[in-house]
Structure formats: C-alpha cells, structure tokens
Amino acid sequence: MSVYFQRTTPRLLLATAVVVIGAAALWSLTSNAQDGKADAAKKAAAARPALTVTLVAPQVVDWPQVVAANGNVVAWQEAVIGAEISGYRLTDVLVNVGDVVKKGQLLARVSDTTVQAELAQARAAAAEAEATLAEARANADRARQIQATGALSAQQINQYLTAEQTALARLNAAQARVQADQLRLAQTRVVAPDDGVISARGATVGSLAQPGQELFHLIRGGRLEWRAEVTSEELARIKPGMSAQLALPGSEGQRVTGKVRTVAPTVDPQTRNALVYVDLPRDSGARAGMFARGQLELGRAPALTLPQTAVLMRDGFAFVYRVGNDNRVDEVKVDTGRRNGDRVEIVRGLAPATPVVATGTGFLNAGDVVRVVEAPAQTASK
C-alpha cells in the first residue's frame, strides 16, 4: 500500500497569513467603531440636562422675632356659685351651660315657703315688741313726771324705767330677727355675682341645697387667657404688652392674636419652665380647656429668606442648589431659622445675591446638568 504526502508550498502559507491579518484588522476596526459610538452616547447622556429649572435670589425682608410656646387656654377667673342657704330644695334652674349672664341675674330659686313663714312670724314678734315698748315708754314717762311729787316710791319708778329699757331691747332683737329672715329670703335667689358665661352646671330641680354644693361655674367677664409655657432662658425677653399669635386646634389656618398681660414671677423647679399669661379677645373662638401652640413676638428684624421649595431637607440638614457657569448644580449646605408662610430664613451658608434653584430640588444631585429658563411672569390679580 502506498502513502502520499503533499508538501505545503510557500505560496499557500503566504495566502493564509494575509487572510488572517485582514480578518484581525477588520475586527479591530469594528471594535473601535463600537467603542467610539458608546463613548459618544455616554458624552451625550452626560450633557443632556437632568431638569429644566428656574432660579430665585434670596430676599431680605423685615420679619418678627418670635419665641415658640404652647400651653392651655383657661378662664381668666372662674367663680364657683352655690346656694347660701341650705336644707331647702331647688324649685327653678333658669340657666344652662354656655349662657351669657349679667351681674345680679337670677340663676336658680330655692324653695322659700318656710322662710316666708318664719319672716312673717318674726315681723309679728317685732310688732308685739314695738307695742310693748310703747306701753313701757308711756309708763316710764309718767313716772318721770311725778317723781318729784313723791307719789311713787323710788323702787316703783326704777321698775318703770327698767321695763322701758327691757322693751326696747326686745324690740331691737325682734327687728334683728326680721332682718335675718329677710336676708334668708333673699338667699333663696341664686344670682350671678358678675357678668360672664356659665361654664358648668350642677344644679338640678328638686335637689336639696347643701352647704358647699357647687351649683354653677361662671367665667367672669367671659375672659379667657392662654397660659403659654416658655423656658427660663426666654423668660427675660418677654414683657407685658407684647403681641402673641396662637393657632387653635382643629381650625385650618385660624390664628388668634392676644396680648401678654403678665409674666409669672416664678419658674417651675421640675420643668424649668415659666408661664406667660396672654389675654385673648372674647370673639376669638377659643374655648377653656383647649391646648394651643403659638408664638410670642419680641420685635422685628431683617431676615434673608428663600421660598421653602428652594430648600431641600435631607438627613436633618438643609441644602440649596447653586448653578455654575457650565449649568452644573452645586449642593450648598445652609442653616435655616424662622419660617413665615411659604418662606424660610437662611441664617448662614449662602451669600445674599446668590441665585439658587427655585423648585424641584428633590430631583437633583450634585453635578447634575440643568437647563435654566426664565421664571414665568406673575399675573396681576384683578
């Protein structure tokens, strides 16, 4: 059996090398083109604006300096009204909780039948004593007239004079009894000691009036006050006559303006807080027992402010975004202070004339490219 071996010629080897080299060159060109396209896409994506924004510059405004406080709304003074006479039943209750009453107005009646009878008896006794005095006085006058004649002994004359004095004392006692019964009769009428509003009622028709029983509570004058708690450090800055603003619970945006009447002279040793007494207007809508938050105005001072939409709160810190010449945003940490409406005070961290991104800060990161446009003109309200 014969085996033939074919010898590879140099020409064939050369052709094979050329094919391999060409394929490698073609692959390299294709790969470079793809890398170039990817780099171009990345550059295009990097240059594309992340957000269209408007800029706003800080404004310096005159703002009030305030001290935040909270506390209860209570009655300025609350009178406890009870019956001054006891042991008799209530026959009428004429007012209810929330009624506005005047000084001296009748609130309730206590049964006066027994007192009327006792008063009539006292008046009869006084009339009897007055008649007895008249007789004794006439006898004493005659005794004085004939004393010099000797018709009556000194003992008899002394008896007539003593009877006169005794009758006078008995008349005075009877008249005092009449006055006492008249007073008891007046006490069967429970009246308002002052103008005000009935805040509580314990009186019930048919119940027996007892000593110390609370029939009504009266807010004197209808006056309420806000007892605001402040720290001992803030106490020295608060003076009577200062204005106070408080928000009532359950009312959207309703604020009540009051005036500081006085400042407590002592500080609670447990909480280190002190009370500030703020008078409230009668038509404020506040109710005794409410808990309210508010602020005390110490004065006014200029403040560098921005809209709240321009300030981003993150991780307990405040940031604003400043736009550079290349339209890239730079994150700037700032310290905030007072708030008023939709604006917030910038205490430090931002120059007064530096414009920052007005809205959409929550969608930005440091280094993002943005497109800046002019803010739309405000339409004048008719």
pLDDT tens digits for range 262-275:
999 999 999 899 99
pLDDT digits (tens, 9 = 90+) for 306-362: 999 999 998 889 999 999 888 888 999 999 988 877 899 999 999 888 899 998 888
Radius of gyration in angstroms for the set of CA atoms belonging to the chain, rounded to a whole number: 49
Apex 356 CA angle, 353 and 360, nearest 5:
160
Mutual angle of helices 113-145 and 154-186, in 10-degree steps: 160
Q: Does the pLDDT value for residue 228 go beyond 80?
A: yes
C-beta separation of 260 from 277 below 8 A: yes
Which residues, other chains included, contact 197 with Cβ-Cβ below 8 Å and sequence gap of 6+?
A: 98, 99, 100, 101, 218, 219, 222
Question: Among 216, 205, 188, which Cα is nearest to 92's?
Answer: 205
Nearest to 302 by CA among 125, 61, 75, 106: 61
Looking at residue 113, its pLDDT comes to 92
Helix, strand, coil % in the chain, rounded to nearest 5: 30, 35, 35
Which pLDDT score is estimated for 1?
43
Average pLDDT rounded to a whole number, residues 147-152:
77
Distance CA 337, CA 348 (A): 9
3-state SS class at 116: helix
> Which has the closest alpha carbon to 212: 75, 30, 85?
85
Structure pTM? 0.61
**Which amino acid, 323?**
V
| The pLDDT of residue 41 | 46
pLDDT at 18 over 70: no
The pLDDT value recorded for residue 363 is 87
% pLDDT > 70, the chain: 85
- Does 178 score more than 50 pLDDT? yes
Which residue from 263, 279, 358, 327 is spatially nearest to 54, judged by alpha carbons?
358
User: How far apart, in whole angstroms, are the C-alpha atoms of residue 52 and residue 50?
Assistant: 7
List the structure tokens of 239: 């003076």
Q: d(Cα 330, Cα 351) in Å, to the nearest integer?
A: 14
- Rounded to an integer, the average pLDDT of 118-146 is 91
Q: Nearest 5 degrees, angle CA 59-CA 63-CA 64?
A: 170
The pLDDT of residue 378 is above 80: no
- What 3-state class would DSSP assign to 230? strand
Q: Mind listing the domains of the chain with CATH numbers?
A: 51-63+302-372 (2.40.420.20), 68-76+222-298 (2.40.30.170), 83-110+188-221 (2.40.50.100), 112-187 (1.10.287.470)
Q: What percent of the chain has pLDDT over 90?
A: 48
Residue 191: exposed, middle, or buried by beta-carbon count in 10 A (0-12, 13-18, 19+)? middle
The mean pLDDT value of the chain amounts to: 84
Range from 7-11, 48-52, 166-170, 185-189 carrying the lowest mean pLDDT: 7-11
- Over range 175-188, report the average pLDDT: 94
Q: Report which secondary-structure segment, H or E, holds 37.
A: helix 10-47
So what's the pLDDT on residue 174? Answer: 94
pLDDT at 71 over 90: yes
Residue 282 CA to chain centroid, in angstroms? 14
- Residues forming beta bridges with residue 60, ordered by sequence position: 304
